[in-house]
């Protein structure tokens, strides 16, 4: 899809994935605890959902908590989970106002029961909306997602439902948490780190990467527009020649 952004006609990536990084450093710069940064970061997510939709992006997938983030202090993890509770509660209202469909990817089995219930409610109540497809990666790790998919397929092979020859890329994709979504066209990582940190490792195979030094709580629509402009300067070849 094309859209006019600040007078320029641009291709809008259908699916944008974001690694929202730098909340802790943002808080530290203000001599505040890390969770102050997470709170500011959560506010920015709300705004970016609206901006993404207005710009014509169809899918937005954000990394909220990785399978490795449990290594942080109990205080920080508890703070993030409490923030998430409040966020999920508000999100139901916001989603219906903005016609936004919300999904959560990652391993839910390690999350508290009340959080899982809120996620299920949010997914069920927003399943009918056809605005932005907003996905939150929570207790998500790309390797863990592949592990779960392999386990799933292995069980079907064992029971005879599948044969080893049935295992192609399409089948693997269909067993991932992202089965209903196209692969991301553009990945954005804030805070100057140039790594994937176990995010969507299968799905990002042909995605364009945009890195910015801006810390996540400072990210705004102008940053998002910059990323889209960068995306428009890339030539996607998918292994071919143009």
Nearer to ligand IPE, 182 or 192 (CB): 192
Told to check if 214 binds ligand IPE by CB under 6 A, we report no
Active site residue 21: yes
| Residue count, binding to ligand IPE (CB under 6 A) | 17
Told to check if 20 binds ligand IPE by CB under 6 A, we report yes
Name which position in 25, 94, 225, 229 contacts ligand IPE (CB under 6 A): 25
Told to check if 80 binds ligand IPE by CB under 6 A, we report yes
Nearer to ligand IPE, 66 or 212 (CB): 66
What stretches of the chain show up as alpha helix (H) in DSSP?
23-29, 34-55, 74-98, 113-126, 142-159, 169-174, 221-232
> How many angstroms separate the CA atoms of 36 and 214, rounded?
17
Active site residue 152: no
> How many angstroms separate the CA atoms of 46 and 220, rounded?
11
Where do we find the tokens 């320029």? 8
Told to check if 63 binds ligand IPE by CB under 6 A, we report yes
Closest by CA to 216, choosing from 183, 187, 191, 185, is 191
Nearer to Mg ion, 21 or 208 (CB): 21
Binding-site string for ligand IPE from residue 173 to residue 212, where x marks contact by CB under 6 A and - marks none: ------------------x-x-x-x---------------
Residue of 3, 6, 11, 21 with catalytic role: 21
Binning the chain into helix, strand and coil, the percentages to the nearest 5 are 50, 15, 35
> How many angstroms separate the CA atoms of 95 and 239, rounded?
38
Question: Residue numbers of the site for Mg ion (CB under 5 A)?
Answer: 21
The three-state secondary structure class of 198 is coil
Q: Residue 135 phi/psi, 5° resolution?
A: -125, 130
Closest distance to Mg ion from the beta carbon of 216 (Å): 9
Q: List, by residue number, the catalytic residues.
A: 21, 69
Residues making contact with ligand IPE (CB under 6 A): 19-25, 63-66, 69, 80, 191, 193, 195, 197
């Amino acid at each position: 899809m094309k859209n006019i952004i600040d007078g320029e006609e641009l291709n809008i990536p259908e699916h944008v994935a974001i690694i929202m990084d730098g909340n802790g450093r943002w808080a530290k710069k203000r001599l505040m605890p890390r969770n102050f940064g997470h709170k500011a970061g959560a506010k920015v997510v709300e705004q970016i959902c609206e901006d993404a939709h207005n710009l014509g992006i169809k899918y937005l997938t954000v990394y909220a908590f990785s399978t490795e983030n449990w290594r942080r202090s109990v205080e920080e993890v508890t703070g993030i989970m409490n923030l998430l509770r409040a966020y999920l509660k508000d999100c139901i209202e916001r989603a219906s106002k903005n016609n936004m469909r919300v999904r959560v990817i990652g391993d839910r089995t390690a999350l508290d029961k009340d959080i899982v219930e809120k996620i299920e409610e949010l997914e069920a109540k927003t399943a009918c909306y056809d605005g932005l497809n907003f996905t939150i990666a929570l207790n998500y790790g790309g390797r863990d997602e592949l592990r779960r998919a392999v386990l799933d397929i292995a069980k079907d092979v064992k029971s005879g439902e599948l044969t080893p020859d049935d295992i192609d890329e399409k089948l693997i994709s269909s067993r991932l948490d992202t089965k209903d979504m196209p692969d991301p066209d553009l990945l954005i990582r804030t805070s100057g780190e140039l790594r994937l940190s176990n995010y969507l490792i299968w799905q990002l195979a042909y995605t364009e990467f945009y890195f910015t030094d801006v810390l996540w709580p400072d990210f705004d629509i102008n940053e998002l527009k910059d990323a889209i402009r960068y995306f428009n300067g890339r030539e996607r070849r998918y292994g071919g020649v143009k």
